[in-house]
Amino acid sequence: MKPYLREKTSFSFAEVPSDTSFEAGYLVSKNAGWRSIRPVIDIEKCVGCMQCYLYCPDGVISIENNKAVIDYDFCKGCGICKKICKINAIEMEAEKK
Amino acid sequence: MKKFLSGNEAFAEGIRLARPAIISAYPITPQTIVVERLSEMVECGSLRSEFIHVESEHSALSCAMGASAAGVRAFTATSSQGLLYMAECLYYASGGRFPIVMMNANRSTALPWNIYGDQRDSISQLDSGWIQAYAENAQESLDLALMSYYIAEKTSTPFMVNLDGFVLTHTYEEVDIPDEEQADKFLPPYETDNKLDLDDPKNMAFSAGPDYNYIFKFKEHQALLNAKKIIKKAEKDFAEIFGRKYSGLIENYKTEDAEFILITIGSIAGLCRKTVDKLRAEGRKVGVVRLRYLRPFPTAELVGSVKNAKAVGVPEKDISFGNEGTVFTNVNSALFQGKIAIPSYNFIGGLGGKNISHEDIENIFDLIENGAERVNFIGIEVE
Amino acid sequence: MSVTANNLCRDEFFYGHKACAGCGGSLAVRNALKVLGKNAVAVLPAGCMSAVGFNFPQLCFANNAIISTFAGTASMLTGIEAGFRARGIKDFTAVGFAGDGGTADIGIQALSGAIDRNDNILYICYDNEAYMNTGIQKSGLTPFGAKTTTTPAGKNIHGNIRPKKNMFEIAAAHNIPYAATATVGYMTDFLNKVEKASKIKGTKYIHVIAPCPTGWGIPVSDTVEISREIVDCGLWYLAEYENGEFTLDHDPKEFTSVSDHLKKQGRFRHLTDEDIQIIIQSRDAKWEKIRRDWRK
């Protein structure tokens, strides 16, 4: 369960609700454009300790097959994950413009 | 069942029959009797509501909004300073389309401090997006308590019922109290999709930027205009079940052939009608329109009532400082829209509970017949 | 069983929000909701988390969530909790997330009322120590010395001249069933307090330090590190109040340098040695009382 991107991103007059109540977790835009640097996980080094997952303010790190995986659609590139990683398995790399 | 009740007590009886799940209120004179009676009803089990003792009027309405967002019927009551203190929440409730009902005991606002009745408190909140009704007597207070939920819930718009402080809230009259079965038939349990729901989670009371904000506001406006139809339907259903008829947004008294008409709100209407009877006996063609609702404003109805008059007067217990009485402003807008080019005069009186007498009303009829200042102050002679 | 990264619910309830990179407040909200699960009904007043999470049609809570008025977090929670109960719903947690201004200043009346009634709600204050959403203005929880846009650091006055209100002990003084302090730097401590609070009936208050990199003048990557340091140097403490007793959860044998901690933050960079001495003395006075009076 997680808010996710929807296909329908704009609403006509008739489609706008009459009250301020709407489906929970309805996303229409990504946050990828915010980054100037991106965390890159060294899969060889990663031991799946989950500390980066635990401390990510955006919740964009999940653990799959005991390795950290980043959702770059929503990562803002803050670098907390790199700082928290005790085994230096995360590097911050410049975003290519 | 008939009982001798004050306006506050009659209103509490109406709320008992409407069965709100949550009552959140903070005491303020002259509203207190209604919340005391409701507390007693909860205590003795005649009303199965939760009475929440909030710490302020702001919290009273904020809590009621929480309850409404949780999908249940909510009630609060206040007056004067309390209404002003919760003002932020008034706009929030209407924007969120929460059909909360509030009783407001009309009372003067400080400074100077004063606990007696005028209508500056509620009239200052006409733009807050609430339906506003003004009761004239205890029976109408009870009936409006029931009808307000019907109308609020069918329009997803909060509803403020105003009772003149002391003059109505504390005056005893014989009131017919409907039985619960009839009330349940009139007002079914509250159902809404505008609620937090574990099976269908919602994000509510959100922000909306310039691309969407105006659409929400337009729909809110449309809902208030649509309330005119719902009010008619409510009164039709009400008459069928309870046998008491109401006349919609306005109530006319001998206006059909009247040349000079007073337009007013609340409990002063009775005094105006008595004066009309006296003057009619003297052969004068006079009448009264009581505006039962200020929002939505009864433009078309008012135009229909005064279109053949020679002049109208608006006595009101309110003033928008630096301009004129706000009811008067609204009435003039209706006259203009109806292309009725007749003189109109404003009579500001009753502020801070100052008595308006039979002679005052008679004098007002003389003035509108013979011409007066555009805005007049009852009982003030400037030297 | 205590909450760990490993057994924390994998669902994400606060996702896609527009909080600044490295936001401590969003970290607190995200993880608290993972503890409380899908039946959390969240109330967030006007402030950072509501501004970044609820801009129609971008709605970033997977669970039920609603914005309250700025002053109305606790009172709206009260109404929601009572409303759900009236509908016969039992398995839910009414949880509020308000900032320091929303809690200690404009919302303190409603919070006090809710605790007084002992309403069954969980109130979490994410404390970033100023009105960050409006651009870093001083709140009642801005610490002594901090530079904000309304407490500029000049020659005469070195930033905010008043100490932080003690909201934890203010909540405790109501004889609240449960209150706790935490920091996003020691996440599992915070999350276990959330878990514990969620199982207690009545009002619960958790005060979590949640740095704002913009307002504190720190790199966006340092949020977690700085919120560990604030505990390690003794300017914050991890504690609980329950059954009328205060308990200190973590008693550092030795404090790390207050000066180093403060000097890392742009908001304290102007402080003189005398200013820092005042802060250290006030820390020591507080710890003397804590160590004397609180259980360990």
Reported as a single tens digit per residue, the pLDDT across B272-322 is 999 999 999 999 999 999 999 999 999 999 999 999 999 999 999 999 999
What ranges do the domains of chain C cover?
24-293
Report the distance separating Cα B167 and Cα B361, nearest Å.
17
Query: Hey, how many other C-beta atoms are within 10 angstroms of the C-beta on B226?
Result: 15
Residue B130's Cβ-count burial label (10 Å; 0-12, 13-18, 19+) is buried
The complex's ipTM? Answer: 0.97
A47 touches chain C (CB under 8 A): no
Report the distance separating Cα A78 and Cα C22, nearest Å.
5
Note the pLDDT of residue C281.
Answer: 98
Neighbouring chains to A with at least 3 Cβ pairs closer than 8 Å: B, C
**pLDDT tens digits for range C68-81:** 999 999 999 999 99
Best to test chain B binding among C18, C39, C61, C78 (most B CBs inside 10 Å): C78
Q: Are C25 and C58 in contact (CB under 8 A)?
A: no
B126/chain A closest Cα distance in angstroms: 20
The architecture that CATH gives domain B250-377 is 3-Layer(aba) Sandwich (3.40)
φ, ψ of residue B264 in degrees (nearest 5): -150, 180
Cross-chain Cβ contact C67/B207 below 8 Å:
yes
B205/chain A closest Cα distance in angstroms: 5
As a whole-number percent, the residues of chain B with pLDDT over 90 amount to 98
Q: Are A45 and A61 in contact (CB under 8 A)?
A: no
The architecture that CATH gives domain C24-293 is 3-Layer(aba) Sandwich (3.40)
The third-level CATH classification (topology) of the domain covering A4-94 is Alpha-Beta Plaits (3.30.70)
Q: Which residues of chain C have pLDDT under 70?
A: none
A86 touches chain C (CB under 8 A): no
A56 touches chain C (CB under 8 A): yes
Q: Are A58 and C26 in contact (CB under 8 A)?
A: yes
* Contact list, B54 vs chain C (CB under 8 Å): 75, 78, 113
What ranges do the domains of chain A cover?
4-94
Q: Count of B–C CB contacts within 8 Å?
A: 160
Nearest chain B residue to C45 by CA: give it: B205
Mean pLDDT, all residues of chain B = 97
Note the pLDDT of residue B383.
Answer: 61
Angle C124-C128-C129 (CA atoms, 0-180°, nearest 5)?
110
Q: Which of A28, A29, A57 sits opposite C30 (nearest CB)?
A: A57
Give yes or no on whether B2-242 and B250-377 have one common fold: yes
Residue partners of B312: CB distance under 8 A and separation at least 6: B260, B261, B262, B263, B306, B331, B335, B342, B343, B344, B345, B368
B54/chain C closest Cα distance in angstroms: 7
**pLDDT tens digits for range B252-272:** 999 999 999 999 999 999 999
Got the DSSP string for C235-247? Answer: SS--EEEETTEEE
Q: What is the DSSP letter of B253?
A: E
What ranges do the domains of chain B cover?
2-242, 250-377
CATH number of the structural domain B2-242: 3.40.50.970
SS (H, E, C) C147-190: CCCCCCECCCCECCCCCCCCHHHHHHCCCCCEEEEEECCCHHHH
* Contact list, C72 vs chain B (CB under 8 Å): 58-59, 62, 65, 89
Q: Are C90 and C160 in contact (CB under 8 A)?
A: no
* Window 15-34 of A, Cβ < 8 Å to B: 16-26
Q: Which of C129, C258, C83 lies closest to B194 in space, CA to CA?
A: C83
| B231 pLDDT more than 70 | yes
Best to test chain B binding among A8, A12, A19 (most B CBs inside 10 Å): A19
Q: Evaluate if pTM is beyond 0.90.
A: yes
Neighbouring chains to C with at least 3 Cβ pairs closer than 8 Å: A, B
Token representation of residue B285:
């063609």
Mean pLDDT, all residues of chain C = 97
Q: Which residues of chain A have pLDDT under 70?
A: 97
